[in-house]
Amino acid sequence: MNHAPIVARPLILLGAGGHAKVALSLALAAGWSVRGVCDPELARVGQREWRGLQVLGGDEAAAGLDPTQVGLLNGVGQTTGSAGPRRRLFDDLTQRGFRFPPLAHPGATVDPSALLDEGVQIMAGAIVQADCRIGRNTIINTRASVDHDCEVGAHVHIAPGATLCGAVRVGDGAFVGAGTTVVQGLRVGDGAFVTAGSLLTRNLDARQRWPAGERSQTAPEE
């Protein structure tokens, strides 16, 4: 994981959907300055302000900013088990030299021994216990619990109220649905999908679903 220090710069929010609202609240609660928002739909309809932020334009406006002067806040959500749009935005802009600081809400509990990579978002009421490792661009959402020695990969979403018991391994791009419990010591493979409200009691291979045979969620990504 990359643990290079990130200089505190004003942030620009990317996206203006439901997750963006929570990400904005997270950043402000954590004491960051957010100077504007980039969102294609707001730009398309000519909206100039959103939740008190100046609308700077669409994705092209973000790419045109100076990465030495601003940091970025990823407000694109992951609600369908596909990290695609959120991951592509993060990867494209980090390759252009932008930084996404890891953020933890002051109402979250994060053990000092936990390692948070770039772009991690720890939302209000979440718990991250001792010796956990959380990969880049990952969301630990509202009231989720990640117990000791868990390793969560990059571009993962641990949805609201989900529980990872001790020493769980979650692969890159996986999705653990709201209210789910993953039993201690298990492995959730890359791109795997665990449906909301599930109890996972066995390892889940890459790109597999639990429970098996469940239909995909179709809600659009924010």
Q: Which residues are catalytic?
A: 148
Element (H, E) at 220: none
Please name the residue ranges forming H helices in 39-180.
40-44, 59-63, 84-95
Q: How far apart are CA 103 and CA 26, in angstroms?
A: 7
Place of tokens 């045109």: 64
Question: What is the C-alpha to C-alpha distance for residues 61 and 57, in angstroms, rounded to an integer?
Answer: 5
Cα distance between residue 206 and residue 19, in whole Å: 26
Number of neighbouring beta carbons within 10 Å of residue 122: 29
CA distance 144 to 11: 25
